[in-house]
Amino acid sequence: MEHDKLIRRKQVLELIGLSHTTQWRLEKAGRFPARVRLGSGSVGWHLAEVEEWVRERERVSVTSDITSLQGGEPGSVLPHRKG
């Protein structure tokens, strides 16, 4: 990733709003960007990958909200409000 900034765990957790344990579990399951080893005891993450992960969660959330408003029918149209 050209010109990508590496961020440390504290910044990652602030961006994603999850606990260290939840982030670690997601990463272990392959559902969060992989860490980059920076040294013998330090790791970081590509900022662009973390930001994309957050954007993807937002897209999933919006799609889920719309589907639930539509009564669980992905192809249906939202009802119009009267008044």
Write down the pLDDT at residue 82. 54
Distance between CA atoms of 82 and 73, rounded to whole angstroms? 21
User: Could you report the per-residue pLDDT of 17-45, keeping only the tens digit for each?
Assistant: 999 999 999 999 999 999 999 999 999 99
Strand partners, 44: 36
Tell me what the mean pLDDT of segment 2-25 comes to. 93
Threshold 0.85, pTM exceeds: no
Task: Indicate the domain borders of the chain.
Answer: 6-60
